Structure 1
Amino acid sequence: MKLASYNNGRRDGQLMLVSKDLSKTVAVPAIAHTMQQLIDAWELLQPQLQELYEALNDGLIDNAVDFDEAKCLSPLPRAFQWADGSAYVNHVELVRKARGAEMPETFWTNPLVYQGGSDCFIGPKADIPLASEEWGIDFESEIAVITDDVPMGVSADSAQKHIKLLMLVNDVSLRNLIPGELAKGFGFFQAKPSSSFSPVAVTPDELGARWEDSKVHLPLITHLNSELFGRPNAGVDMTFNFSQLVSHVAMTRPLGAGAIIGSGTISNYDRSAGSSCLAETRMLETIADGKPSTSFMKFGDRVRIEMLDDNEQTIFGSIDQQVVEYKG
């Protein structure tokens, strides 16, 4: 099943059921008005939506209209929880190597997670407004899951059944603000502005065999200013799968329905696949040449993030955003 949230002028948008090929869509107010309402009562409402989804794909919904990604907010325009992991330890290893630091062994056994701002996500086609290029503007191409209610202390084996939807992420990062914040020993805040999510969220079964072991086994494709930047495979070199990430986040607290858990930047040891953020490219340049040669994003730069199925058809729609100057 595929779902979106249209911008209807309200904070949480209008829940839309979207056809498998992303060609048609229909509102489902008789079932749920918003994505959060759906997630809150997933077990009750999902079977009703599934029946409508099959009818939509068969062309049997008379009031279906053409799907328009430009009308989409992030699937959850705001959420009660947004926790982003760093499941590709290869990426973390590069960060530390570039600055000559050893990596603790615990990084291979205990996931890194930070709690992001979830009160105001940016739409997948909306501009990214930032006040200064000096902040070191970067994109991070990722995957995220949305859960239903997750009990505290859930095991990794049990966590997978709580994963209801998947979507793509642009976890915008301000790299030049990060060192100063981390030096205080209290984590990110200003260095992590609002994130963006793909137009469409999908149930795991939509990925077929490409969803295995709580991982998405497909390349995540990023273009920067219309040029291919990277297409690392999200199922390769993922040290901690999504079930493990959900279990880790829920170790000391329950998660409310609609919690979003991110994978962190997709990264492969095979460097020919490219990267999913500018920071990783800069780190590789630093390791090879002693200094980076790739600059961070400037006002007017555009990033596009998407994932294609085995038939080269888009699964989630695309995140396609331009960085613009915020003037208050």
Structure 2
Amino acid sequence: MGLDEVSQKPHDRLSALLADDMAAVNALIRDRMASEHAPRIPQVTAHLVEAGGKRLRPLLTLAAARLCGYGGPYHIHLAATVEFIHTATLLHDDVVDESTRRRGRPTANLLWDNKSSVLVGDYLFSRSFQLMVETGSLRVLDILANASATIAEGEVLQLTAAQDLATDESIYLKVVRGKTAALFSAATEVGGVIAGADEEQVRALFTYGDALGIAFQIVDDLLDYGGSDASIGKNTGDDFRERKLTLPVIKAVARADAEERAFWVRTIEKGRQEEGDLDRALAIMARHGAMEAARDDALTWADRARAALTVLPDHPIREMLHDLADYVVARIN
């Protein structure tokens, strides 16, 4: 089931409730992605920013700030910061992964070139730091700067771990916390910080974002082996073809017999893939219940996200965030 097929989507309810804030975020993004001297910057940025993404991360920042009673202007800056960081990482990721599709459209590196994607990504990172500095909060700067470093660290770790059959679930979790959950947790945490929430609530917002991000990535990894191209915005089986050791494969490798391990060594470690290998990989994962086990993990992380919300104020946004954890994992039901 795709996200758009879930009835009474909490993402849409959040978007409707925070529509004015989100409009201000989008206006700020358009303003700050402009460049007087390098027109390719807004061209490349607009291709990705305006590609119809759900803006989940900036929406989490707005929701956390409003949930904690914030009435000032700087949650707009922080939400735009989060979206710029996310967009920059996508531009860089598509170069690293040699991707050709993103959100169902050709990637920027395909339409322009790798140099443009990398340099425009760098520009967006720089813009994000300008925005976060404007809030005047050193703590906000610390959280988002640390998140940026953690994201880069997670991506580098994935480079070394993705095709190594010694990669286990603990290493996978470090990668996921870096490449995905770090920005989710920073997005929610800074919303609480800018609102002046107490430390227990700020920690709860961090925990919620962290657990939601992990669940989100596990679901993405599962959908790569079982989602429609339209729902995941890329080709089914791309992770296998790119020789990425994601959670379903890690679980299957851990339970593999000698013949199956030889298959994983050939296809993942050595990259010698043949026609029919994807189907065989799916059959091996099915034999060991790897997909179901990974789904159970995603549901457990969604449960942790919901549990973290209990210390936050009783507010319609809290219920929407609670439902959002269900919404993220509903894609694999």
- TM-score clears 0.5: no
TM-score after normalising by structure 1: 0.28
Could you say which structure has the higher strand fraction?
1
TM-score after normalising by structure 2: 0.28
